[in-house]
Structure 1
Amino acid sequence: MKGLIGSLLVLLATLHSPLAGADSAPSADVTQASMPLVVFLVRHAEKQQPGKDPELTQEGRDRARDLANLLQSAQIEAVHSTDFARTRATAGPTAAALNIELSLYDPFKLKAFANTLKRRGGRHLVVGHSNTTPALVTLLGGEAGDSIDDASEFDRLYVITQGGGVVETVLLRYGEP
């Protein structure tokens, strides 16, 4: 079932992506700034309680692996995380599976980070927090929907696509509920 959902997610992101129908490699005269953008955004997985910088629980580690499996065919080019144990541990399996170095971003400078993503284009995974993930969705021009339940909601996956002046938001769920 998870494989089917993962395949559907990748298909959905590809079909709704401004990249659909484009050559897989941009021509030499296309700049990074003109590249369409696809961003997968999640909140970190389940964390241990309490603590200043808690690690993930076993449930959280399982969810992080589920995310890596789900996104393995999504052609992600960059994996971004805040500099907290729980976000790095959520992003880590995807970065490792794709052989991509984890890139850290400052959650207090979301507007600058959103602008960097827009300029760069391409396909990204961004792991954040219950407050920063919806805020970043909005800064990217997407629709964040209801607030994330800080106590119990760890399965929300946003897919934001931007290109040709159009922004689309798809909200999915992943891993075990």
Structure 2
Amino acid sequence: MRRLLFATALSMLTAGSALAQTVILVRHAEKVDASADPVLSETGQRRAVDLAVVLSDADLTHVFTSPLQRTVLTARLAAEAHAIDPEVISFEGGTEAHVRRVADRIRALPENAVVLVVGHSNTVPLIAGALGETGASEMADCEYDRLTVISVEDDGDSPAVIGRYGAPANC
């Protein structure tokens, strides 16, 4: 059911404008511990599989992650399924600089680009806002199942559909 919902939302957004990139924003999957750069837990590994399944029918053209391994590991299966080498966007200069680099990199892509961005609870809402999504809400630290699809419009008003994927997060 969730896969059908996502496919419907993705097709509605991509059909809306020939002058827009489609961006799929998710937070990294569940991590094994609270250390600085942990790997994914078993639950997180299952969520990474769920993400790849949900995105199997998407025509992904690009995948962006942060340099932390939990984002890279979350994106890996979806990227491999689409024969994409994920691009790591640096945190150099802090969170605001990272968010700006991600948004600038997306806006520089062709109009028909379909981009997966795997970020963090503090960066996903900021990236959505930087792309023009006006309803971007904060993300709870326990929220791992949010999937946001944004149609990045040239006029700065970027509509979004927010859904869920995989097992419900324990919030």
TM-score by length of 2: 0.86
Corresponding residue for residue 12 of structure 2: 15
Match of 2:52 among 68, 71, 76: 68
- CA distance in structure 2 between the partners assigned to 1:21 and 1:112 by the alignment: 24
- CA distance in structure 1 between the partners assigned to 2:89 and 2:17 by the alignment: 31
Corresponding residue for residue 134 of structure 1: 125
1:113 aligns with 2:102: yes
- CA distance in structure 2 between the partners assigned to 1:115 and 1:39 by the alignment: 13
- CA distance in structure 2 between the partners assigned to 1:171 and 1:36 by the alignment: 18
What runs of 5+ residues in structure 1 fail to find an aligned partner? 23-34
1:49 aligns with 2:33: yes
The answer (yes or no) to whether the contact 1:135–1:144 under 8 Å persists in 2 is: no
Q: CA deviation at 1:48?
A: 1.2
Corresponding residue for residue 84 of structure 2: 100
Match of 2:114 among 101, 123, 136: 123
- CA distance in structure 1 between the partners assigned to 2:116 and 2:143 by the alignment: 18
The answer (yes or no) to whether the contact 2:2–2:164 under 8 Å persists in 1 is: no
What runs of 5+ residues in structure 2 fail to find an aligned partner? none
- Look up the equivalent residue of 1:56 and give its one-letter code: L
- CA distance in structure 2 between the partners assigned to 1:65 and 1:112 by the alignment: 27
In the comparison of the two structures, how many residue pairs are matched?
160
- CA distance in structure 2 between the partners assigned to 1:76 and 1:160 by the alignment: 14
Q: CA deviation at 1:144?
A: 4.7
Corresponding residue for residue 70 of structure 2: 86
Q: CA deviation at 1:146?
A: 3.1
C-alpha distance after superposition, 1:96-127 (max 9, x if no partner): 11111111112432113202211214110000
The answer (yes or no) to whether the contact 2:13–2:22 under 8 Å persists in 1 is: no
- Look up the equivalent residue of 1:117 and give its one-letter code: I
- CA distance in structure 2 between the partners assigned to 1:164 and 1:51 by the alignment: 39
Secondary structure in 2 matching 1:172: strand
RMSD between superposed Cα atoms in Å: 1.7
Highest CA radius of gyration, 1 or 2? 1
TM-score by length of 1: 0.83
- CA distance in structure 2 between the partners assigned to 1:8 and 1:164 by the alignment: 26
Sequence identity (%): 33
Secondary structure in 1 matching 2:75: helix
Greater displacement, 51-60 / 99-108: 99-108
